[in-house]
Amino acid sequence: MSTASTEFDAIIVGAGFAGLYQLHLLRDRLGLRARVLEAAEGVGGTWYWNRYPGARCDSESFYYSYSFSHELEQEWEWTERYPEQPEILRYLNHVADRFALRPDIQLGTRVVGAQFDAERQRWRVTTQDGEAFSAQFLITAVGCLSTANLPALPGIDSFTGQVLHTGLWPHEGVDFSGKRVGLIGTGSTGIQAAPVIAQTAKQLVVFQRTPNYSVPARNGPLDAQTQRETKENYAEIRRKSRSSTNGHPFSVAPEGALEVSEAERAARYEAAWQRGGLWFRASFKDIMTCPRANETAAEFIRAKIREVVKDPEVAERLTPRDYPFAAKRPPIDTDYFETFNRDNVLLVDLRKAQIDAIVPQGVRTGEAVYPLDVIVFATGFDALTGPLLALNIEGEGGVSLRKRWAAGPRTYLGLQMPGFPNLFTITGPGSPSVLTNMPIAIEQHAEWIADCIAHLRAQGLRRIEATEPASEAWAAEVNRAAEATLLPMASSSWYLGANIPGKPRVFMPYAGGMAHYARLCQEVAAEGYRGFELS
């Protein structure tokens, strides 16, 4: 049990991009007594946990970063277009040091309970080690992708080799040389890991349930001139990012895919393919809204897969056909499809025969047993709601968040829930979060929360709570926004909770666009926090 103070103005759970910035704002701008509680033994969140081979960002370095400090953005040197995990982790550690955040971060502390004490009008927060804290405000910065999903496959404990999950990767690294490695999952993670594992493993068996559309990243070092120009133009880069739909500093083309000639369309896709990265999705304005437009992008990628993968049968198995391009979170890759031309790589199509069990010697599907030394689960996360529900939150009158969200998450602006006063969620369900370049979404939320708390203090108010009608109306708006796009058409997407057995199928993030959403949040505040009850 800690002897240090346990009474705070604000407790923040999580020390990734979100928790670090929220602490800086509340402590250094508002003068609050704030404490971050973090389960990991270090700061960095996603970049602390995800140390698998090939892990790197797919937002480009010059905008996958904080924008709040001019000095920080000028002094930090990014070395690559998409830096690897160690570099991003170094950056976040640098932020923790530069802003002297560490004294107010308690590491190795997993929060397992949070109850609202109506009498004291404070949150009581409990940890796995039995510590208890109390605070007027509780802010979850637990991340959207921080609860690893390890499928409950029968026999997993009987496996005689090593079992790994990419989101819980050993710090000492893993040597695959001479080993037979099974990789389950072909989302962004599996697609990044496969080419790197294949370089050293004796054999790599990729178990694929849903084939994925992937576009080359075209990673490379950043030269001195690019670095200088980026630093000179940061103000404009940030302005563009904030005024865009997805928090990226690039504009979506003003034309629809079917408004140009076939030759022009092909040329534009080819240029985007050569340029690499998420820009591909911005090639036409209607890729995410018009099925026929989307099909042109999907078909372009399918043709590329046929071109790259030498064995036509393997190419066909790798080809996504039954959902629109980018309706699942689009990955970008370095030599992913090329990897299947290697002699030591085998693709197993789980749509033909699913995994029955893990057996002592490897993975058994309905067709065969694959002998393995290591099984790597790249099976993703219980996204968005998973980390929040794991906090076992109980609001006013003991109402549990788990019960409230039994049919899917309900929030007001992804920031608050009725019945849970003074509890704020950074990038919660119902906010643009995972549909954006996340530092932009995180900064917007952390700043809105800090401004809100400053407002309460200035007005001598003690509590804020989203109202039921506002939350109901927002749920309808979240549905409307999703339905206006092709996003709900990928039935196996984690955006819908479809990757977790038994999870309600609800489209969780807000698809109405980052800039539009940020304006709404501003208006809500300017109108005296419309939809919230302040007292």
From residue 258, alpha-carbon distances to 263, 302, 324, 490 in Å are: 11, 18, 16, 22
Asked if residue 73 lies in contact with residue 54, where contact means CB atoms within 8 angstroms, the answer is no
* β partners of residue 182: 205, 375
Where helices occur in 201-290 by DSSP H, the ranges are 224-232, 234-242, 262-275
209 in contact with ligand NAP (CB under 6 A): yes
Least separation in angstroms between CB 184 and ligand NAP: 5
Q: With CB under 6 A as the contact rule, which of the stretches 70-78, 179-187, 319-327, 364-372 interacts with ligand NAP?
A: 179-187
Phi-psi sector, 113: left (phi>0), alpha (psi -120 to 50), beta: beta
Least separation in angstroms between CB 110 and ligand FAD: 4
Q: Which does 38 bind (CB under 5 to 8 A by kind): ligand FAD, ligand NAP, none?
A: ligand FAD
Q: Which does 13 bind (CB under 5 to 8 A by kind): ligand FAD, ligand NAP, none?
A: ligand FAD
Q: Which does 408 bind (CB under 5 to 8 A by kind): ligand FAD, ligand NAP, none?
A: none
189 in contact with ligand NAP (CB under 6 A): yes
Backbone angles phi, psi at 100, to 5 degrees: 50, 50
Q: How far, in Å, CA of 122 to CA of 114, rounded? A: 10
Return the structure tokens found at 22. 């929220």
492 in contact with ligand NAP (CB under 6 A): yes
Helix pair angle (234-242, 514-526), 10° resolution: 80
Strand order in the sheet with 203-208: 162-165, 374-377, 180-184, 203-208, 345-349
Asked if residue 17 lies in contact with residue 439, where contact means CB atoms within 8 angstroms, the answer is yes
145 in contact with ligand FAD (CB under 6 A): yes
Return the structure tokens found at 71. 């000095």
Q: How far, in Å, CA of 13 to CA of 362, rounded? A: 38
**363: number of Cβ within 10 Å:** 24
Q: With CB under 6 A as the contact rule, which of the stretches 287-295, 364-372, 378-386, 527-535 interacts with ligand NAP?
A: 378-386
The footprint of ligand NAP on residues 47-86 (CB under 6 A) is: 57-58
Q: With CB under 6 A as the contact rule, which of the stretches 141-149, 288-296, 490-498, 512-520 interacts with ligand FAD?
A: 141-149
Q: With CB under 6 A as the contact rule, which of the stretches 2-10, 35-43, 69-77, 98-106 interacts with ligand FAD?
A: 35-43
Strands 369-371 and 362-365: antiparallel
Least separation in angstroms between CB 380 and ligand NAP: 3
Candidates 214, 502, 496, 476; CA nearest to 337 is: 214
Task: For ligand NAP, give the closer residue by CB, 116 or 381.
Answer: 381
The footprint of ligand FAD on residues 403-442 (CB under 6 A) is: 426-427, 437-438, 442
Q: Which residues of 482-507 are buried (b: 16+ CB within 10 A; e: fewer)?
A: beebbbbebeebbbbbebbeebeebb
186 in contact with ligand NAP (CB under 6 A): yes
The footprint of ligand NAP on residues 119-178 (CB under 6 A) is: 145, 151
Q: Which does 14 bind (CB under 5 to 8 A by kind): ligand NAP, ligand FAD, none?
A: ligand FAD
Task: For ligand FAD, give the closer residue by CB, 47 or 207.
Answer: 47
57 in contact with ligand FAD (CB under 6 A): yes
Least separation in angstroms between CB 186 and ligand NAP: 4
Q: Which does 253 bind (CB under 5 to 8 A by kind): ligand FAD, ligand NAP, none?
A: none
Structure letter (DSSP) for residue 491: T
Q: How far, in Å, CA of 435 to CA of 495, rounded? A: 9
90 in contact with ligand FAD (CB under 6 A): no
Least separation in angstroms between CB 279 and ligand FAD: 14
143 in contact with ligand FAD (CB under 6 A): yes
What is the pattern of x (binds ligand FAD, CB under 6 A) and - over residues 176-205?
A: -------------x----------------
Q: Which of 16, 45, 182, 190 binds ligand NAP (CB under 6 A)?
A: 190
Residue 74's H or E segment, with its range, is helix 70-75
Q: Which does 249 bind (CB under 5 to 8 A by kind): ligand FAD, ligand NAP, none?
A: none
Residue 402's H or E segment, with its range, is helix 401-404
Q: Which does 190 bind (CB under 5 to 8 A by kind): ligand FAD, ligand NAP, none?
A: ligand NAP
Total residues at interface with ligand FAD (CB under 6 A): 36
Return the structure tokens found at 88. 């991003």
Structure letter (DSSP) for residue 278: G
Identify the three-state secondary structure at position 206.
strand
**275: number of Cβ within 10 Å:** 12
What is the pattern of x (binds ligand FAD, CB under 6 A) and - over residues 371-390?
A: ----------------x--x
146 in contact with ligand FAD (CB under 6 A): yes
Task: For ligand NAP, give the closer residue by CB, 184 or 326.
Answer: 184
What is the pattern of x (binds ligand NAP, CB under 6 A) and - over residues 449-488?
A: ----------------------------------------
Q: How far, in Å, CA of 261 to CA of 504, rounded? A: 42
Tracing tokens 């000095």 back to the chain, one arrives at 71
Least separation in angstroms between CB 439 and ligand FAD: 7
Exposed/middle/buried for residue 455 (C-beta within 10 Å: 0-12, 13-18, 19+): middle
Asked if residue 83 lies in contact with residue 90, where contact means CB atoms within 8 angstroms, the answer is no
**Where on the chain is the footprint of ligand FAD (CB under 6 A)?**
13-19, 37-40, 45-46, 48, 50, 55, 57-59, 64, 110-111, 141-143, 145-146, 189, 387, 390-391, 426-427, 437-438, 442
**Where on the chain is the footprint of ligand NAP (CB under 6 A)?**
57-58, 145, 151, 184-190, 192, 207, 209-210, 329, 350, 355, 378-381, 434, 492, 494, 499
